[in-house]
Amino acid sequence: MTQPPSAMKPVPQWDERFRLLLEASPAGIILVDAKARILLINERIESWFGYSREELVGQFIEVLVPDSVRPHHIPLRDGYLRAPTVRPIGSNRDLTARRKDGSEFPCDISLHPLPLPDELQVMVHIVDITERRRLEAERRQQESHRRLRFMIDNLPAGAVYVSGPVIAANRATEAITGYTRQELHTLESWFGQLFGERAAEVQAQYEADRILHFPKTRTLEIIRKDKQRRWIELAAYGDDQHEVWLLYDVTERIRAQDQVVQSERLAAIGEMMTALAHESRNALQRSQACLEMLEVDLEQQPEELDLVQRAQRAVDELQRLYEEVREYAAPLRLELQSSNLRELWRQVWANLTPSMGTKSITFQDDCPLVPVADVDRHRFCQVLRNIFENSIAALPATGGMISLTSETISWQNLPGLQITLRDNGSGMSPEQRARLFEPFFTTKARGTGLGMPIARRIMEAHHGEIELGPLLAGTEIVLRLPTVNPSVPTPA
């Protein structure tokens, strides 16, 4: 018959139980006598301090005190031993103990005099608080990171920290760019998302600036996630290990500067043109009247008639040029009306059909919802007409395709519309693309080069914009505007 295990082992004696209890204590325990000599230690003390029991028993307690504290310790412990009291845990902060190898560790020490009848003995209770200190330090560091992060996140400026290929952006950067920080978390996504087709060029400039430790602040045009173009001013600071960028949206400032320059220019052109138009109108009308009379006289003489008709066309062109320049320079006053834009572009397209001659052009429009916006119908049709006319002119003699899509977007935090017009015509060279909105830039023998600048003025007067889409085969023009114009008071 087998016996239960407890019956097999002898039950330890009380002394042995106390010894096991002492050794099992998670704290280090030392017993010292009235002279501060070590009488007994537990195993925890051996392992923390690196001494064996034999080495420590009989030594003064100061063997465990750091060298620098030792001289002060002797009078203190003598004072204590003359009038011993319980010193609980935590009553003596910032203590350190010395290991056998001279290294030190932080500890918490409490003192407990034992109530023995014949002599004084004191139990020294030690807890190694290295781990607790480490956790406290970690918590403090986390807290200071949290505060720093809060501060950076609430800066009114965009701030970006660059670490190798990875970047960390703050909340203001998200507001400036429209992208979340996850979407911008590498240099590659930063340049790719914000600079579109200019990404490589801007990144090369940044690399060059970095080599020179960022000598200057750059003003850069970015493309926000909602496709708006904005201007930012970016100042970078860096050394070998850290790099920080600060950015501000300076679009309004730049627009205001541009507007001043532009309106001064326009005022000058306007004045000149008004004078010129006044002087020329009579002359043009007179020559047109004469040409009409000549036309009647020369009905039987085809060669002369052809010359007269050419002269008439030249006069027409001159008149159109005057009209467009005046239009470009004169102040724009919009009469906004809530309008179905699909009706407008279909009407403009229908009016243009006769001018296409033999070109066979497919027109396709695609918009899931009825596109309604507050526009000045006459002006908005002017924008569409010029874009269509340009596309028709860019298509080869055999014809091609013109398409239009419309979608709802959020535009400057308001509901808006984006209309994209594409053709598969000749497209433009990079130089032409850069100059598209420049007044008088034209590649046409009879162009005025004012169509696109006028279109831009009209779109901006609608609180919208017009821009050239990405480099594709053919040309893409994008219009964006608010559906409810901020300058129209909403009906009560």
- Stretch 403-432 residues interacting with ligand ADP (CB under 6 A): 423, 425-428, 432
Tokens describing residue 396: 């080869």
Q: In angstroms, what is the minimal distance from the CB of 449 to ligand ADP?
A: 5
Q: How far apart are CA 202 and CA 187, in angstroms?
A: 11
Q: By C-beta, is 281 or 444 nearer to ligand ADP?
A: 444
**Number of residue whose CB is nearest ligand ADP:** 451
**What is the closest distance, in whole angstroms, from the C-beta atom of residue 384 to ligand ADP in the complex?**
12
Residue 394 touches which member of Mg ion, ligand ADP, none, C-beta under 5-8 Å by kind? ligand ADP
Q: In angstroms, give the least distance from the CB of 277 to Mg ion.
A: 21
Specify the residue for token string 């690399």.
207
Contact 397, 429 (CB under 8 A): no
Distance, in Å, from the CA atom of 29 to the CA atom of 122, rounded to the nearest integer, reads 10
CB of 391 or CB of 418, closer to ligand ADP: 391
Residue 270 binds: one of Mg ion, ligand ADP, none (C-beta under 5 to 8 A by kind): none
413: left (phi over 0), alpha (psi -120 to 50) or beta: left
Could you say which residues in the range 64-83 bind ligand ADP, by CB under 6 A?
Answer: none
Task: Report the nearest approach of Mg ion to the CB of residue 320 (Å).
Answer: 11
Nearer Cβ to ligand ADP, position 177 or 386? Answer: 386
State how far the Cα of 114 lies from the Cα of 353, in Å rounded to an integer.
111
Query: Which of 104, 441, 463, 467 is the binder for ligand ADP (CB under 6 A)?
Result: 441
Residues 6+ apart with CB under 8 A from 400: 359, 361, 362, 423, 424, 425, 474
442 binds ligand ADP (CB under 6 A): yes
Inter-residue contact 84 to 120 (CB < 8 Å): yes
Rule CB under 6 A: is residue 436 a binding residue for ligand ADP?
yes
Q: Which is nearer to Mg ion, 192 or 447 (CB)?
A: 447
**Among ligand ADP, Mg ion, none, residue 425 binds (CB under 5-8 Å by kind):** ligand ADP
430 is written with which tokens? Answer: 């990079």
Q: How far is the CB of 387 from Mg ion (least distance, A)?
A: 8
Vertex 67 angle, CA 66 and 72, to 5°: 90
Q: Does 485 bind ligand ADP (CB under 6 A)?
A: no
* Residue 340 C-beta: closest distance to ligand ADP, Å: 25
Residue 181 exposed, middle or buried by CB count within 10 Å (0-12, 13-18, 19+) = middle
Please tell me whether residue 42 binds ligand ADP under the rule CB under 6 A.
Answer: no
**Residue 186 binding: pick among ligand ADP, Mg ion, none (C-beta 5-8 Å cut-off by kind):** none
334 binds, among ligand ADP, Mg ion, none (CB under 5 to 8 A by kind): none
Number of residues that bind ligand ADP (CB under 6 A): 22
Among 106, 192, 399, 447, binds ligand ADP (CB under 6 A): 447
Using CB under 6 A as the binding rule, the residues of this chain from 449 to 478 that contact ligand ADP are 449-452, 475
Question: Closest separation between CB of residue 458 and ligand ADP, Å?
Answer: 12
Residues forming the site for ligand ADP (CB under 6 A): 386, 390-391, 394, 423, 425-428, 432, 436, 441-444, 447-452, 475
